[in-house]
Structure 1
Amino acid sequence: MSERRHLWRPTRRRLTDTLLAALAPIAAFSVALGGLTTWAGTGKAGTPAHVEVTGGRVFLPYGDNRDTAAFFDLANSGGADDRLLRVTSTGADGDVSLSGHRAVGAGAAAKGSVASVTVPAGSRLSMSPHGVDVTLRAGGRWQVGDWVPFTLHFERGGPVEAIAVVVRPAA
């Protein structure tokens, strides 16, 4: 008996299927490499969050009311987002908290506490009476021009010391 050997022979169809199977991962790799090259080219690849705190101001309470608000300008020059988790102050009496306004209906807004505030990579966030702010109870007898120390605690960047100057609410 003669034994017949079946040899594998490439056909046009087999070669085309093999080539297409090899090209799919190469194309995916090329797209990923292009994206990483663009990201690295912007200079932000691998840089941690870096938030600078400037422009601190705190409203002088009016009348017998000692509740007030403080505002800061936050700039994240890093390559990663960061979150402001809490704010503390040795110049305030009692708790200091983050708060924000949100729309609750046609032309109406409500103020409530917020757990954290995101500061996106490469952008700025300015606190205001109509957005995010820091609520606190004034300590002592503040006067216009006094400085109040604050510590802003960030998730990635850690604590950042800042000073806010006491201003009249209309300023």
Structure 2
Amino acid sequence: MGLQFMANKPAAVTELHRVLTPGGRALVTLPGPEPDLFSIMGDALSRRIGPELAAFVRTVFSLHDEVEMRKLLEEAGFGRVEVEAATARLHVPEPRDFLWQYINSTPMIGGVMKVDEATRTAFEREVTAKWQPFRANGGMNFEVRMTTAVGWA
């Protein structure tokens, strides 16, 4: 659903509740806090390309607090709410491949492509160099905490 990107989160969750049939349920899964892998990328984006792109990375991981999620669902009218957080260990491609797969799959690609090739290359070099400690088994490993909230109408 991308709840973390909604300007008015309470209204979005209220609408989610409204469209459910009685007894229906909504499940929201949100990552965060921001893993080191993404902090490195966000910092490099901010310095080399623009802080507005780094803001996107920060937003991805901005809504993960269990208490906040419970409150959002309960205030939207969900009668029963369960919220839990768990850490997931992820394996992603090699640094350069993962960097461009991620950038290309987000709205950040437009901003990244507006800068000159030398700037993009410097950005890539900085990020991939700092991602070297994450390399393992033909890719990279990192952990991310995931908050899952379920609300029943």
TM-score after normalising by structure 2: 0.23
Larger-Rg structure: 1
TM-score after normalising by structure 1: 0.22
- Structure holding more helix per residue: 2
